[in-house]
Amino acid sequence: MRENIVIPAWQTVIQGTTIKKFNFFPAFLGTFWLSLIVLYQITFTYVQFFDKKDEFFSMLDNFIHKSYFNETIIAVGCILLLYMIIAPIAEAGMVIMIDNESKWEEKQPISGISWFFRGCTYFLPLFELQNLLSVFKLISIITFYILLLRIFWKDYFWYISAWMGIYLLFAFMMNMFFAYAPYFVIFEWKKAFEALSASTHMAIHNIEVTFHLYFTLLLVYLRTIVLALIFIILPFIVSGILAVITILGIKIAFLVITAVFVFLLLIFMSHLNSVLEIFVNSIWYQAYKENKKLDTSFHVHSVAWHHDEEHHDDHHH
C-alpha cells in the first residue's frame, strides 16, 4: 500500500506546484469560513449565554448584532454562497489535476484557469454530493453540538454529549464508506446517489485498505479541530491583553497588530490546509485507482474460473 498509494500521493504533493496555486484560494475561503463560524459561536456563547460583558467580546457582539447587523448578514451570506460554489469546482479541478500529474508520459501543461473550467463541468453532481454529505462533516457536527448546548445546556448536557458522540462515530463510518464517491462522479460520470452506492461497494470490498487509510488520515482530518482550537484560544488572549491595557492609542495599535497577525495566520493555515487537501485527495485517488485494478483483476479471474468450471462439466457430460 505504501508503494502503490502513499508514495505516489506524496510525489504529487511535492511536484504539483500548479495544484498548490490552484487550490490556495478555495483553501483560504474554507479556512476563513471556518474561522468566522468559530469566532461567532464563541462570541455569542460567551456574551449572550454566559452573560459576560468583556470589552473585546462585547465589541464583537455589538458589531454583529447591533451596529452592522444587516451588513454582516449580507457579507456572511455572500461568503457562504461563494464557498458553496467554489468548493465542488475546486475539488473536481484538483482531482483532474492530480490525475494529470500521475500520468507522467501523457501529462499536459494546462493553466489553472483551464482546470477551473474543467472542474465546472462536474459542478452539479459534486454540489449535490457535497450537500448530501454535509451532515457528516466535522464542522457541521461541532456547530450543531454547540447550538444544542445553547438551547438545552443545564439540564441535558450529558445526554446531548453522549448522543453527539455516537453520531460522530456514525459520521466517521459514513465518511469512510463514501470516501470514493467524488472519484466515481469525476471519472465515471455517476450521479450523486449512484456514486455513494458505488463508493460503499468499493469500500466494503476493499475494507482493509479503506479502513487503514481512513484511520491513518484521521490525524490529517483533525486539522479542523486544531484550527478551531487556535481561533477559540486567540480571542481570549486578545481579550485578556485588552483588559490590561488602559491607554486608548495603545489599544488601537494592539488591535491593528493583532489584525495583521490574524491575516498572516490565515494565509499560513490556508497554505497548510491546501497542501493537506491535495495529499488527502491524492491518497484517495491512488486508492480508487488501485481498488479498480484489483476489482477488475478479481472479475477477470472469476469469469475465467467460471468458464473453466463450465468447460469441465461439459467434458464430463
Task: With cut-offs at 50, 70 and 90, classify the pLDDT of residue 317.
Answer: low
Contact 190, 184 (CB under 8 A): yes
Q: Which range, 80-84, 217-221, 232-236, 291-295, is most confident?
A: 80-84
Amino acid at residue number 214: Y
Mean pLDDT over 255-275 rounds to 89
| 73-115 residue pLDDT tens | 888 889 889 998 999 999 999 998 888 877 755 556 666 677 7
Give the percent of the chain with pLDDT over 90: 27
CA atoms within 13 A on the CB side of 195: 25
Contact 251, 271 (CB under 8 A): no
Cell 469469469, residue located = 303
Closest-CA residue to 183 (of 62, 79, 75, 91): 91
- Gyration radius from the chain CA atoms: 24
Give the separation between CA 314 and CA 317, rounded to whole angstroms: 5
Contact 198, 180 (CB under 8 A): yes
Mean pLDDT over 223-242 rounds to 76
Strands (E), 54-160: none
Residue 198 has pLDDT above 90, yes or no: yes
Task: With cut-offs at 50, 70 and 90, classify the pLDDT of residue 154.
Answer: low
Q: Please work out, in degrees rounded to the nearest 5, the angle formed at the alpha carbon of residue 291 by the alpha carbons of 197 and 135.
A: 35
Q: Does the predicted TM-score (pTM) go above 0.85?
A: no
